[in-house]
Structure 1
Amino acid sequence: MPKVSIIVPNYNHEKFLKGRLDSIVHQTFTDFELIILDDHSSDDSVSIISTYQTQYPNLIRFVPSTKNSGSPFKQWDRGIALAKGELIWIAESDDLSSISFLEYSVPFFERNENLGMVVVKSNAIDATGGQISEFHPMFNGYESKLFKATSSGLNYFNGDEFVKDYLAYKCLIPNVSGTLFRKSAYLNAGGLNLNFKRNGDYDLYFRMLYQSDIGFLNKSLNSTRYHDDKLTASNNAQSFKEVSTILKPVFDKLKLSASKRLEIMSFYFTVYKYDIFLNDAFTFKEKVTIFQNLSNLSGLLHFKFLKLLLQRGRINLSKIIKS
């Protein structure tokens, strides 16, 4: 049985596939299997994958779909169900990694039986592979806290403490390609909630870390690629609704004060307000629905939202009262 199962979920990433697959098949740690999934791509992805499968027949399992699933998380879940390894690496098809990714990250699981996942330092690259930033943008302000030198090489966090002090504020596991985790931790957490279309990973990480620990490795072993496939405003609206649903039980479990809820939700409010609240593509009813989701998390943000819409002259106060 392989130690690691590497899962590459792909959809229409022909221009990135060769670089991604080369960074995997040349890993210096070799006790792994490679499962490549294709979600019914319309480009030349299948042909590229088939070439690699022919070249590495004993390494690669290729599992194409006959129709598009409409969800990357369905592909993740499908790959994990097929995986034989103790450890899982979901290596997204548009990202890149160092060929030493597994060599540096695998040993920590053998030393720490409660360790559920290791997150490596990730930089951000553009479509051509040029570096945009040394750290993934989501780590901004947290770099020195997460990626600091330790005697073991791994900055180790108790799972519950990491949820309370870090993950509740924002998803500081921002790129699954930069994460190696135990399959048992995934299964014990109940796996992915496939009802979530945009933030299924964030929901999963909370449940995994309630019962296992996490470590951050200060080695730049992963590259998150930013390219032309931008999220639309409607995707952002879906994301905001999902974040609201995910964080409500977390806030209740942690017994967070009203001021702490306001502090956390103000971040999301700032991130999404121009894409949703100030977007004329959304109807009044849609905006009120999102507003109600927000109110479940921080009643204090009611007033910010109401003020925002009143300033825009888009809303009738009587409608808010009736709703």
Structure 2
Amino acid sequence: MPKVSVIVPNYNHEKFLRGRLDCIINQTYTDFELIILDDMSTDNSLNIIKEYQLAHPNLIRVIPSTENSGSPFKQWDKGISLATSDLIWIAESDDLASTSFLEYCVPFFESNDNLGMVVAKSNAIDATGQQISEFHPMFKGYESELFNDKANGFNYFKGNDFIKDYLVYKCLIPNVSGTLFSKDAYVKSGGLNMDFRRNGDYDLYFRMLFNTDVGFLNKSLNSTRYHDAKLTASNNAQSFKELSTILKPVFNKLKLSASKRLEIMSFYFTVFKYDIYLNNTYTFNEKLAIFRNLSDLSGLLKFKFLKFILQRQKIDLAKKLRN
């Protein structure tokens, strides 16, 4: 039985597939199986996948869907259920990795019994593969805390401490392609909740790390690709509704004070202000409905929001009078 199961969920990424599969097949650590899932692609993806399977029949299993699942999380879960290995690498089909990704990440599980996940340093690339940022954008402000040269570049966090000090603020495990995790930890957490269409990964990481630990590796081993067709969790009503559902039990379990809740929600309130409230594509009632999901997490945030609305109304009134 191989040590690692590499799962590549794909949908219409024919122009990125060869690069993705090449960097997996050429890994310097070779004790792995490769499971490729195609979610009823309408481009030439499946032909490319079959070409690779023909060239590597003992390495690759191809599992094409008979209908589109409509969810990347369903594909992740399907791949994990098919995996025969102790460790899982979900390598999304539009991203890239160093050929030494597994070589660096696997040994940490052998020397840390309660380790549930290793997160490698990720950069950001464009559609052509050119680097646009040394760090994934979600790491901004946390780069030195998560990635440093202590202990040979491996920064180990107890799961509960990482949740309390970092994960509650935002999803600082932003790209699953940059992680290697324990299948046992996934199963014991209950796996992905398919009710979440946008933030299922964020919800999963909380449940996994309440029982296991996480390490951040200061080596740039993963590249998150940004392109027009990138499937991302956009800041819409569904996203904020899910966020409230995910964070509420976490806040209660951690017994967070009112001031701590407000501190955490400040990030999301800033996102709300600029992406929702000041976005004219939403009606005022829609903006209020979205905000209710955030205000459920912090009573103090309601007062902050009311102050913000009054300030905006004064600004808007002044503009009307000038015109």
* Shared fold (TM-score, shorter chain, > 0.5): yes
When structure 1 is superposed on structure 2, of 81-90 and 240-249 the one drifting more is 240-249
Does the CA contact (< 8 Å) of 1:28 and 1:100 recur in 2? yes
1:72 paired residue number: 72
SS at match of 2:76: helix
Cα separation, 2, equivalents of 1:232 and 1:23: 23
Change (3 A) 1:230 1:275: farther
Aligned sequence identity (%): 77
- 1:241 deviates by 1.6
Verify the 8 A CA contact 1:237 1:275 in the aligned structure 2.
no
Partner of 1:165: 165
Against the structure 1 CA distance between its residues 61 and 219, is the aligned structure 2 distance closer, same or farther, given a 3 Å change threshold?
Answer: same
What residue is the counterpart of 1:117 in the other structure? Answer: 117
Query: 4+ residue stretches of structure 1 with deviation over 4 A?
Result: 230-235, 307-313
1:264 corresponds in structure 2 to 264
Q: Which residue of 2 aligns with 1:188?
A: 188
Unpaired runs of 5+ residues, structure 1, are 314-323
Kindly indicate which of the two structures has a greater share of residues assigned to helix.
Answer: 2
Provide the TM-score with structure 1 as the length reference: 0.92
Letter in 2 for 1:177: S
Assess if the C-alpha contact under 8 Å between 1:233 and 1:275 holds in 2: no
> Distance between the aligned counterparts of 2:227 and 2:240, measured in 1?
22
Give the TM-score taking structure 2 as reference length. Answer: 0.92
> Cα 1:219–1:77, aligned 2, differ >3 Å: closer, same or farther?
same
Q: 1:13 to 1:232 in 2, by over 3 A?
A: closer
State the alpha-carbon separation in 2 of the partners of residues 151 and 306 from structure 1: 47
- Does residue 175 (structure 1) correspond to residue 175 (structure 2)? The answer is yes
**Residue in structure 1 matched with residue 320 of structure 2 by the alignment:** none
Matched with 1:4 is 4
* 1:239 counterpart letter in structure 2: S
Deviation sequence 1:85-134 (CA, Å, 0-9, x none)? 10000001110000000001001101111000000111111111111111
Instruction: Please report how far the alpha carbon of residue 285 of structure 1 lies from its aligned counterpart in structure 2 after TM superposition.
Output: 4.0
Change (3 A) 1:115 1:43: same
Do the aligned partners of 2:7 and 2:91 also contact (CA within 8 Å) in 1? Answer: yes
Q: State the 1:291 CA deviation.
A: 2.0
**Greater mean deviation of Cα atoms: 300-309 or 28-37:** 300-309
Structure 2 unaligned segments of length 5 or more: list them. 314-323
Conserved 8 A contact 1:198-1:235: no
Structure-to-structure mapping, 1:302-321, within 5 angstroms = 302-309=302-309
Distance 2:301 2:312 in 1: 17
CA RMSD of aligned residues (A): 1.9
Whether 1:224 and 2:231 are equivalent positions in the alignment is no
Measured in 1, the distance between the counterparts of 2:201 and 2:234 equals 19
2:100 aligned partner, one-letter code: S
